[in-house]
Structure 1
Amino acid sequence: MYASVIEVIEIVKEEGVHDQQSVEAGVLIDIMESFDFIFMMYLMIAILGITNELSQSLQRKDQDIENAMKLVQISKQRLQLLRENGWNGLLDEVSHFCVVFEVVIPNMDETYKTRRRSVRGGEDKTNLHHYRVDLFYTVVDMQLQELNNRFSESSAELLLCMSCLNPSDSFRAYDERKLICLAELYPSDFFIIDVIALKNQLATYIIDMRTSEEFSSLRSIADLAKQIVKFKKNDVYPLVYKLITLALTLPVATATVERAFSAMKIIKHRLRSRMGDDWLNDCLVPYIEKDVFDLIPNEDVIQYYQKIQNRLIKL
């Protein structure tokens, strides 16, 4: 693919509609045929490959929190291994690619020469220091720091405790000890006597759930909450239900929330800066839940608005 891309850009350079296009294509070719570009390309491939499964897991609507947290730990371990033992392998792959496509490989012991204008008084450094320390170590450390910031030990523990409420596979993830820990994280909602009572309530609750047909095919905590209210189990297990509501209201940043913010940027842009909250909400719901609204016939929508008030013209 690399050779094909270069070939296409060379065609643009030679047959560009105007001079500016040809110049930009020439600059792009110079960049892509440099050791710097190929090194960063392989480094990016390595890091994205390590975090691919985690990224896919976090973007699923029906998130498996337990597996996602496991993937977080695995990604951290693999990034650390890449930092400690991956330099030589990465450099060998980059060098082999450069040999195949006749890209100049710099001598790692020579002084690094930047493409940009040198900064006065800047300290000389070797190519090895630049590529290994300034790029390789820095980028890997940034990824590790980002994972540590987003998934700290306390956050991971909280999410794992929440996952024990998941009703899928006949409440396979249920863990009484972790649910007690989850309750203890909220002392204002669960007093000491509540925590003691919760332990016995959980023992009865899990037997009830696993032996009730109504709760055998649930897939998410939200589905569980609906069924509990439907069959009035919230009155039978008030402390467990409080745990479930806490789990549902925790501000966990999911892909759905991120998509909502992305949609908001599309709906409310510079030309619609005065859009009110109600109108914005009315526009966002159909946009975000387009899969649901696609199932509604247009005729039903027309009839609904037609019945709201009398109109001079029939819709």
Structure 2
Amino acid sequence: MEENMRTRGRSRRNGQMITNFHHYRVEIFCQVLDMIVQEMSNRFSESSTEVLTCIACLDPKNSFSQFDIGKLLHLAELYPEDFSLTDRAILENQLETYIQNVRGEFSMIEDLGSLAKKMVETGKNTIFPLVYRLIELALVLPVATTSIERVFSAMKIIKTDLRNRMGDEWMNDSLVVYIEKDIFATIENEQILQHFQQMSTRRIQLPSLVCMSRSDAGG
């Protein structure tokens, strides 16, 4: 790796001599890292990165090595509907006691989900309710964010130019069916037909799908 080589893209006469280590580290490895960082910056906004940085402080790995009370208090400030001013004042004291209490006992836990489960098993979710609320928020946020992105993606498919007058209720029902298509695929069409028939009084009784298929076969 310490052998010399000429920089690429220049003539041999004007080319600068560099080591193989410099070539692979600076011209390849560092450039790939810069591309990844740029892509992540384009993918996640500054506010999203800020929330993720605060959530990382709850990570129990390496005996809560990333624990930071200041960032966790800032995370609570970002969600005023979940943490009132009084809650945030109490939260600081709870965080100080919490980390002293669990750092040794939960040192073998490696992920946030196992931490939440262990807190419930040991009853610490009632001892430190506001800290547990922070953990619940950290566990729910990724799922909620993903669901919102799925809804917006589905909305472009459901509400097209031909359906621009679609009401909120109809659009909401259509989105649920589209997003949860795996669940609705397990429901028989006959059940949907009978449920639709019983929703209100109708002039005629809708025939069952079995009868309709037999009549089509006979025809």
Q: Helix, strand or coil for the counterpart of 2:166?
A: coil
Unaligned runs of 5+ in 1: 1-76, 85-139, 211-215
Residue 164 of structure 1 contacts residue 174 of structure 1 at CA under 8 Å; is this kept in 2?
no
- 29, 41, 55: which one pairs with 1:148? 41
**How far has the Cα of 1:159 moved from its partner?**
1.5
Cα-to-partner distance string for 1:46-78 (whole Å, 9 max, x where unaligned): xxxxxxxxxxxxxxxxxxxxxxxxxxxxxxx96
The residue number in structure 2 matching 1:299 is 190
Q: Is the alpha carbon distance of 1:184 and 1:287 closer, same or farther for their aligned partners in structure 2, counting shifts above 3 Å?
A: same
Cα-to-partner distance string for 1:82-115 (whole Å, 9 max, x where unaligned): 599xxxxxxxxxxxxxxxxxxxxxxxxxxxxxxx
Q: Which has the higher contact order (CA 8 A, sep 6+)?
A: 1
Q: Is the alpha carbon distance of 1:247 and 1:314 closer, same or farther for their aligned partners in structure 2, counting shifts above 3 Å?
A: same
Matched length: 168
Q: Helix, strand or coil for the counterpart of 2:55?
A: helix
Residue 205 of structure 1 contacts residue 237 of structure 1 at CA under 8 Å; is this kept in 2?
no
Task: Say whether residues 1:200 and 2:97 are aligned partners.
Answer: yes
Q: Is the alpha carbon distance of 1:309 and 1:153 closer, same or farther for their aligned partners in structure 2, counting shifts above 3 Å?
A: closer
The residue number in structure 2 matching 1:257 is 148
Q: Aligned partners of 2:136 and 2:105: how far apart in 1?
A: 19
Residue 184 of structure 1 contacts residue 195 of structure 1 at CA under 8 Å; is this kept in 2?
yes
The residue number in structure 1 matching 2:3 is none
- 178, 182, 191: which one pairs with 2:67? 178
Q: Helix, strand or coil for the counterpart of 1:191?
A: helix
- Paired residues for 1:163-174 under 5 Å: 163=56
Q: Is the alpha carbon distance of 1:235 and 1:78 closer, same or farther for their aligned partners in structure 2, counting shifts above 3 Å?
A: farther
- Paired residues for 1:46-57 under 5 Å: none
**How far has the Cα of 1:193 moved from its partner?**
4.0
Residue 267 of structure 1 contacts residue 280 of structure 1 at CA under 8 Å; is this kept in 2?
yes
Amino acid in structure 2 at the alignment position of 1:148:
S
Q: Aligned partners of 2:62 and 2:168: how far apart in 1?
A: 39
Q: Is the alpha carbon distance of 1:247 and 1:310 closer, same or farther for their aligned partners in structure 2, counting shifts above 3 Å?
A: same
Amino acid in structure 1 at the alignment position of 2:149:
E
**How far has the Cα of 1:180 moved from its partner?**
3.0
Q: Helix, strand or coil for the counterpart of 1:178?
A: coil
Q: Is the alpha carbon distance of 1:242 and 1:299 closer, same or farther for their aligned partners in structure 2, counting shifts above 3 Å?
A: same
Q: Aligned partners of 1:264 and 1:202: how far apart in 2?
A: 43
**How far has the Cα of 1:240 moved from its partner?**
2.0
Cα-to-partner distance string for 1:138-171 (whole Å, 9 max, x where unaligned): xx6xx754433444787546325425667xxxx7
Q: Is the alpha carbon distance of 1:240 and 1:196 closer, same or farther for their aligned partners in structure 2, counting shifts above 3 Å?
A: same
The residue number in structure 2 matching 1:162 is 55
Amino acid in structure 1 at the alignment position of 2:69:
I
The residue number in structure 2 matching 1:272 is 163
**How far has the Cα of 1:184 moved from its partner?**
1.8
The residue number in structure 2 matching 1:129 is none
Identity %: 40
- 213, 217, 238: which one pairs with 2:129? 238
**How far has the Cα of 1:291 moved from its partner?**
1.4
**How far has the Cα of 1:261 moved from its partner?**
1.7
Amino acid in structure 2 at the alignment position of 1:175:
F
Amino acid in structure 1 at the alignment position of 2:73:
E
Aligned-CA RMSD value: 4.8
**How far has the Cα of 1:310 moved from its partner?**
3.3
Q: Aligned partners of 2:205 and 2:146: how far apart in 1?
A: 43
Cα-to-partner distance string for 1:30-56 (whole Å, 9 max, x where unaligned): xxxxxxxxxxxxxxxxxxxxxxxxxxx
Q: Aligned partners of 2:146 and 2:185: how far apart in 1?
A: 21
